[in-house]
Structure 1
Amino acid sequence: MKQIISICHSIMKSIYRILPLSGSHKELLKNFCYGKSGGIFKHIQGYQNWQVRQGVLCSLFSNTDSGLSIPDDIPLTTVIIPACNLKKIRKCLTSIRNAKIKSPFEIIIIDGNSHEDITTLCKEFPGIRMIHSDATPGFLSAANRGAEEAKGEYLLFLNGNTEVLSGWLDELAVALYKHPEAGMIGSQIVHGKTGKLYESGNLICRNGEILPLGCNDVPESPEFNYFREVDFSSAVSIILRRKLFLKFNSFDEVCGSAYLEEADFALKLQRDGYRNYVMPLSRVFYHGSKHCSVSDIFFKRWGNYLASHSLYDKASDFFAMRKYSHSRIFYLDAEVPMADRGSGGMDAIFFMDYMKKRGYDVVFHGEYTPDFIPKYTPILLRMGVECVYTPQRQVWKYLEQYGYSFDYLFVSRVYQAQCFDWLFRKYCRRAVYIFNTVDIHFVREELEAQIFKSSLLLSNAMQTKRVELLIASQADATIVISRDEKRLLEETYGLKRIMHIPQARTVRGRSGTWEERKGAVFIGSAHLPNIDGLLYFYNEILPLLPADFELTVIGEALRDMVKLKDECHALLECGQIKFVGFVSDLADYLDHAKMTIAPLRYGAGTKGKVASSMSYGVPCVSTSFGTQGTDMQHDVNVLIADTPRDFARCMVRLDTDFNLWMKLSDGGIDFLTENYAPEKVASMMDQVLSLATVHKKSLSVLCRPVVSASQLETISAEQTGRTTAEDFASALEVLGFWNHFILGVDTVEWADYFKKYTEKIIVNTKDRKDICDVILSSCIPEYSSFQYSEYLAMGGVWLLPLPAKNSANQFFNMLKRSGFNQMDLLESGGNKILCCRKTIQQKEVYGKK
């Protein structure tokens, strides 16, 4: 049966070759026939290759919306293709035609004494330029000749034995446009037969070995799928500026014999201060198979340079343990940032962009969106942010393998911090921990519980409070978004290292005239305070407004959530409220609106919708919850109203009073420029990193981990003297644990000493009217007694003098049974103190606890 199928396939192949169809139409015919064959050709090599290719295309382009924006003034790109054989060139050109390229480009085919009539391609592919070259056939001479004839500002060298994929040229051209420091940028190269990576850029080792990154891995592997610096990319597909190519005298024939002309040229660029990159979102299928190898000529020229600039001695070192040339930050958030759908996404993008500009390597994971998210994940990849996503990578496995490499942990939101606490403690203990609250969740949850009079919501808020305060107290630095939240944590709960970082917003400026503007806009995500705010507006404010007043609601997730809630159906049926869902550019609506509104009844942090409105010069009417912690002033840069009648009056004033409108518009722009300018926020972030690093170093000097009872016995034997109250205070000052903890003390001396550091001291630790976030015990008379197990079970942090040597083992086991997973020895005042940290109650992470 196989023989019959093979004969049939051969006949079909022969007919296919002589069909009077263009290459693109033949490709469509092949896809149709193979797709409808039901796998009867599964033992045929050609069918197997087709299956691999389709599988790769399906995995890489399941959603064609890549989110790439092409600048209007992007220069012309000249694509230079050295001719190989007619069949391969035709397939290559067909793939270019099907790639739906949006950037301006031209194609030059360099015919170096080909034995086939390449000129026939000009009829099939109108617009290409065919140039005959008398030089020695080969890539080097053809590429140099093509550069001389090019009209484009950008040169893109493409091997003729390739098929390009969607986004190939656009991704390269935009990357070069946005990176003036770039020398050469290469595509990710996928093997045409196996569908595995051929390379995603190359590194050159000190011994001259070429290390193709990602070779034989899957193309979407997170480690090799983001814009990153490399030593060079193979000239299968590379782009660079024409003036730069000519400045360095084109490709050098000396290294051409070893197929290392692009590596030689890349190192010339690198030595002159330029950076070479790979853009993995630009992909090509390559049907060749030869990798660059070590060359004596090349090594003689570059050996000394490589000795001082290469990351690895030899290629095998890369697989033994990864090295990194920059400090690394692991950035954890709830979901992949969606800057066009909410202020939280805008803030996350700003933070990561800031980190990249400061020279850090950033690795991102979104807990609730662990997969590759079309449009939004590519935005991060283009920024040069490595994204850990499933099914290619489970995040806990990634941290297990690479957690040692992180210098910083940047953790957004309490729930993500709680969920990943055990992973960070286990695999990233050396990393500086920065906790970004986004907003203080327990404050928002308490307000929500009060509004809805729910004991269940209040209980949840209390649990969130316990965890959030504990995380903030143990972090090396904590970021809050409003000044009110900073005061709350510092003055009410005694926390230290709290940094106020406002939302960074760029002033867009207003356009259009006041007379052309009409109605109001509400911007929001599916956040519960936003839904409550809309219902509050509909039920209590809208009836007080003119019957022709219109509200436009922007937010796709918000619209979808409203559709799911029965109590919100009236919003959808109201003729005065229009839900437009997602919009790509807020200017399309804000440039035509009289105002925006923020009728919020509860929440925490600051509201990005108010700042976004100001950036477009559109005044906002808000409740006090919408402006809390911002220092915005009523009737100066915003209108603030907390009753339905006052809110409606403010809206009518803005709709009818031109002078008031202009005053608030100018005031909002001035306020944003003074307080929310990105460069000012970046300077504040410098202080956060500095503060957190200093604190981590102070702990590193004082602390050493305790991991066994025998180690504790050894430490106990070294101890001399009794630990004093001053020693505990010194240790506490390093750790930063103060007012918000309940102190269990057994002597008046200790209680009096701590009074100057704490506002509340509860001597009887069984009195739990206050939240027991963390317990500090000054001393335990009998370590052999288990009367303290109840206190230990309450969690948090204990700061304890060391036990006697003969009871160390029993004491250690008691701590372990009580759930303490981190113990550190602190030395203070010549004495030794044991700091025992208890695991935060965990949620499940990918099946592991």
Structure 2
Amino acid sequence: MLQLLDFFKNEGFDIVFTSTASKSELSLDLDALGIKSRDIMLNDSGFDDFIKDINPTVVLFDRFLTEEQFGWRISENVPNAIKILDTEDLHSLRKVREVSHKKEVPFSLRTWLQEDITKREVASILRCDLSLMVSTFEVQLLTETLKIDSNLLLHLPFLLEKIQYAEQEAWSDFDERINFVCIGNGKHAPNVDAVLWLSKEIWPLIRKALPEAEVSVYGAYMPQQVNQLHKPEIGFLIKGWTEDVNEVFENTRVNLAPLRFGAGIKGKLTTAMQNGTPSVTTAIGAEGMHDGLPWSGVVAETPENFAREAIQLYRNRKDWKKSQQNGLDLINQLYNKQKLRERFSLVLNNLQRNLEEHRIHNFMGNLVQHQTLQSTKYLSKWIEEKNKKK
């Protein structure tokens, strides 16, 4: 989201950031970035006057739940505003994979297609003029499986600065690094499952081969079931939130990301690449992230393979250096901030010039939009009246 805000600011837009979430001491100081911010409420007709007063040319929704709540109000009050959905990842895909994993049944597209959350998310994509997709896998899923018009989608992963030669030269070398790391926010279910799996089935195999090795687990909001895994005697250390994730990666030899479900692309993996730290992950972890280019490390599925590859990468300087170079190539080729900005700017300018024609061709989106105005709109108004009586 910060990268997108920076993009619009660079394009010369005046930005107003609105949210229903309460600010906290950890909230970003948007004013310092020259961005206005306003609090808004759900199911509140006061938003209509607010948005008409601003009269935006572009509205960006943070995930489909936000579009569900406010999209119809945008269409009704500022119909000429370009509606862009930042999907972050396909939430429906992540959720169905999580349920399948807990039920210990294989994930299937058939199941995903039948779920209500999938229909809601796809409807949100159809209602918008453009949806930003971070994963090449998810773009392919929508265009090939659901036959969604590719003109409604833009592959826009993380916008990262190109790694310069001088930066690469400043990285700590193989012999200067030690141990393993595993990073992920504790409020995100795939991360919690990854730490549990690492502790139970993978780390004992690594520790047996490398009896002096340690793995440090970082992440805010770790639940008790993770905190109780802290066992220094076997080198499994739960360290919680870290102020400087780059420093952590800079001093660690191998990153472990044993993700068994999820969607989108993983910031922990690109951050590792930016600091020259190879990663061992799963097919889910690397999904949609490397577009056929060699992975920055190894992809493994079973605990035995995962542990074996982690040990090999940890011990073998040649393999480690090659994986590090692969990560540098991925960042500079697929996540190049300048190239991605140019791509987004071109698409946005075309939308601004040809919005009416673009919408005419999005017939399914018009159909879904029509039905939404007849349902979501009146549900929201009913909730608003109910709240007034309370």
Partner of 1:735: 362
2:218 aligns with 554
Distance 1:569 1:615, change over 3 A: closer
Q: Which runs of 5+ in 2 are unaligned?
A: none
Q: 1:840 offset after TM fit, Å? A: 9.7
Deviations 1:683-729, CA, capped at 9 Å, x for gaps: 122133134435533268xxxxxxxxxxxxxxxxxxxxxxxxxxxxx
Residue of structure 1 equivalent to 2:142: 489
Q: Determine which structure has greater relative contact order: mean sequence separation of CA pairs < 8 Å that are 6+ residues apart, divided by chain length.
A: 2
**Shift of the alpha carbon at 1:422?**
3.7
- Letter of the structure 2 residue corresponding to residue 486 of structure 1: V
Aligned to 1:436: 86
Q: Distance in 2 between matches of 1:579 and 1:687?
A: 45
How has the CA–CA distance of structure 1 residues 847 and 622 changed in structure 2, closer, same or farther, with 3 Å as cutoff? farther
Rate the CA distance shift 1:381–1:820 in 2: closer, same or farther, 3 A: closer
TM-score (norm. length: structure 2)? 0.84
1:591 maps to 250
Query: What percent identity do the matched residue pairs reach?
Result: 23
SS in 2 for 1:821: helix
Q: Map 1:531-680 to 2 at 5 A.
A: 531-546=192-207, 547-557=211-221, 559=222, 562-563=223-224, 567-568=225-226, 570-573=228-231, 575=233, 576-631=235-290, 637-680=296-339
Whether contact under 8 Å (1:611, 1:672) holds in the other structure is: yes
Alignment root-mean-square deviation, CA: 3.3
Is residue 2:129 matched to residue 1:476? yes
Aligned residue number for residue 353 of structure 1: 6
- 1:498 maps to 2:153: yes
Q: Deviations over 1:779-799 (max 9, x none)?
A: xxxxxxxxxxxxxxxxx467x
CA distance in 2, matches of 1:627, 1:459: 20
Point out the structure with max Rg over C-alpha: 1
Q: Name the amino acid aligned to 1:452.
A: K
The residue that corresponds to 1:520 in the other structure is 180
Aligned-pair distance for 1:439? 0.3
User: What is the deviation of 1:590?
Assistant: 1.3
Partner of 2:98: 448
- Where does the alignment leave 5 or more consecutive residues of structure 1 unmatched? 1-347, 701-730, 739-773, 777-795, 799-818, 823-836
Q: Deviations over 1:536-589 (max 9, x none)?
A: 1111111211243311122223x2xx22xxx43542346423233332322321
Cα distance change on mapping 1:643 and 1:695 into 2, 3 Å: farther
Q: How does 1:97-112 map to 2 (within 5 A)?
A: none
In structure 1, what is the Cα distance between the partners aligned to 2:70 and 2:369? 18
**Structure 2 letter corresponding to 1:466:** K
| CA distance in 2: counterparts of 1:840 and 1:536, whole angstroms | 45
Alignment of 1:424 with 2:88, yes or no, is no
Q: Is the 8 A contact 1:440 1:485 kept in 2?
A: yes
Q: How far, CA to CA, are the matches of 2:387 and 2:190 in structure 1? A: 31
Structure 1 residue 478: Cα displacement: 1.1
Distance in 1 of aligned mates of 2:121 and 2:245:
34
Contact 2:290 2:330 in 1 (8 A): no
**What amino acid is the match of 1:414?**
F
1:230 corresponding residue in structure 2: none
User: 1:189-588 to 2 correspondence within 5 Å?
Assistant: 348-367=1-20, 369-371=21-23, 373-378=24-29, 380-389=30-39, 397-404=46-53, 405-453=55-103, 462-496=115-149, 497-506=152-161, 507=163, 509=168, 511-525=171-185, 526-546=187-207, 547-557=211-221, 559=222, 562-563=223-224, 567-568=225-226, 570-573=228-231, 575=233, 576-588=235-247
Change (3 A) 1:637 1:406: same
CA pair 840-452 structure 1, distance change in 2 beyond 3 A: farther
The number of equivalent residue pairs is: 369
Displacement of 1:842 in angstroms is 6.0
**Counterparts of 1:511 and 1:503 in 2: how far apart (Å)?**
22
Change (3 A) 1:691 1:597: farther
Write the mapping of 1:798-817 to structure 2, written as runs, cut at 5 A: none
SS at match of 1:655: helix
1:325-357 deviation per Cα after TM superposition (whole angstroms, max 9, x unaligned): xxxxxxxxxxxxxxxxxxxxxxx1111011001
What secondary structure does 2:204 align onto?
A: helix
Q: 1:407 touches 1:432 (CA, 8 Å); kept in 2?
A: yes
4+ residue segments displaced more than 4 Å: 393-396, 457-461, 632-636, 837-848
Taking the aligned partners of 2:247 and 2:311, their CA distance within structure 1 comes to 23
TM-score by length of 1: 0.40
Is the contact made by 1:446 and 1:461 (CA closer than 8 Å) also made in structure 2? no
Aligned residues of 1:442 and 1:461 also touching (Cα < 8 A)? no
Measured at CA, do residues 639 and 499 of structure 1 come closer, stay the same or move farther in structure 2, by a change above 3 Å? same
Query: Conserved in 2, the CA contact under 8 Å of 1:641 and 1:647?
Result: yes
SS at match of 2:212: coil
Q: 1:533 to 1:511 in 2, by over 3 A?
A: same
Distance 1:634 1:574 in 2: 38
In 2, Cα distance between the equivalents of 1:847 and 1:418? 19
Which range moves more in the overlay, 382-391 or 661-670? Answer: 382-391
Q: Are 1:512 and 1:591, in contact at CA under 8 Å, matched by a contact in 2? A: yes
The Cα offsets for residues 807-827 of structure 1, whole Å up to 9 and x where unpaired, read as xxxxxxxxxxxx7636xxxxx
Q: What secondary structure sits across from 1:660 in the alignment?
A: helix
Matches of 2:340 and 2:177, distance apart in 1: 32
CA separation of 1:427/1:797 partners in 2, compared to 1, >3 Å: closer, same or farther? closer
CA gap 1:451/1:357 in 2 versus in 1, 3 angstroms: same
More strand by share: 1
- What is the one-letter code of the residue matched to 2:143? E
**CA distance 1:605–1:840, change in 2 (3 Å):** farther
State the secondary structure of the residue aligned to 2:97: helix
Give how far 1:363 is off.
1.1
- After superposition, the Cα gap between the structure-2 partners of 1:669 and 1:491, relative to the gap in structure 1 and judged at 3 Å, is same
Q: Which has the higher helix share?
A: 2
User: Deviation at 1:399?
Assistant: 4.6
